[in-house]
Amino acid sequence: MKSVFCIYSILYIIEGIYLNTQLMLIQRHAFTLVELIVAITLIAILGTIAFISLVRSNADARDAIRLSDTKSLARLVALQINGEKI
């Protein structure tokens, strides 16, 4: 009788462990609210950094074009002053 009780106890413990692991697997399929908020925040921060870099590079390109145009006008004026034909 004692051995049957021992076997049932062991089976009960094994079944409890199995059900507990199954329950943990079922519960772990979803993300928590904190994990979602952290992920959204990180994406927003990275997007902001990328947007700022893009705006800054566009401003640098615009400044380079203006500097090139200014140099071209300076050469044109220098040629006009020296009396050379364009």
Domain boundaries, the chain: 1-30, 31-86
Cα 5 to Cα 9, 10, 16: the distances in Å are 6, 9, 16
Give 16-29 pLDDT, tens digit per residue. 666 666 555 555 56
CA 38 to CA 59: how far, in whole Å? 32
Residues 22-60 pLDDT 10s: 555 555 567 788 989 999 999 999 999 999 988 888 888
Q: pTM value? A: 0.46
Give the Cα separation of 75 and 68 in Å (integer): 11
